[in-house]
Amino acid sequence: MLEINEGKYMKQEKYIKNIKSVTNIGALLAAMFCLTAVYSGCRTDEKSANRQSNSPEQNGIGKKFSQVTVKEETNNPNIGIGSYTLITDNAAAHRADAETVMQLKKNYPLAMQTKDAALFNRILARDFTFRGENEFFGREDYIRDRVQASQTVTSAQYENLVLQFVGEVGVLTYRNVVKNKDASGNPNDTEYMTWADIYVKENGGWKIGAVHLIDYRAEKDESVR
């Protein structure tokens, strides 16, 4: 009887050891799983941190800009644009947009010379605004004022044109010297002005969004007696 009881006891002890062994293995696997999850999380956070730290914005590094001088021809002696400066971080990407904007710039004085309402309508944005010397116009009022003006622009010569794109907006600053004649054909004062033009995208194409006068002076034409 004693041997039988000892056998049962030995079997029970062996069974308990097996349970403990299985339990220990399970605990070890669980620990390994947790360590793997934590390590993976740390690696993910590390990669995310690396991606953030490698971005120019996170490192405080801005884009690298350069200025490119571009030759221009108007094929119109009364509209003088010999060249302009393009400030850009990617000249190849901005070149086509710059050409479109400069074509609008050449058409703008042409519309004033010819008083062509249809041309104004093609080149001005829907929400166009004009701010001049003691005058302000929305789009429709501006077109009407220019088409019905008694004086006519005879010559517009441009200097120091500088163009830069900021997202979907183009900014063009420049000086120009403008000569006009009155309704009788007599020359008016020669005007010296500095401007800032804003170009915007509308229905996939560039338009003139705003024209703002910065500085103005006029001189008497010495040929007028």
For residue 19, what pLDDT band results from cuts at 50, 70 and 90? very low
CA angle, corner 25, sides to 19 and 31, nearest 5? 135
Picking from 61, 66, 57, the residue whose alpha carbon sits closest to that of residue 164 is: 66
What tens digit of pLDDT does each residue of 151-160 get? Answer: 999 999 999 9
Q: Name the residue with higher pLDDT: 29 or 170.
A: 170
Phi, psi of 185 (to 5 degrees): 90, 5
Mean pLDDT along residues 8-33: 46
What tens digit of pLDDT does each residue of 174-209 get? Answer: 999 999 999 999 999 999 999 999 999 999 999 999
Contact 88, 63 (CB under 8 A): no
Q: Name the residue with higher pLDDT: 179 or 39.
A: 179
pLDDT at 221: 72
Report the share of the chain in percent with pLDDT over 70. Answer: 72
Residue type, 39: Y
Residue type, 211: V
Between CA 153 and CA 179 the distance in angstroms is 6
217 pLDDT above the threshold of 90: yes
81 pLDDT above the threshold of 80: yes
Picking from 215, 143, 147, 142, the residue whose alpha carbon sits closest to that of residue 176 is: 215
Tokens 């479109």 belong to 100
Distances (CA, A) of 225 to 88, 118, 152, 179, 219: 48, 37, 20, 17, 14
Kindly write down the DSSP assignment for every residue of 129-174, as one continuous string: EEEETTEEEEHHHHHHHHHT-SSEEEEEEEEEEEEEEETTEEEEEE
Between CA 155 and CA 153 the distance in angstroms is 6
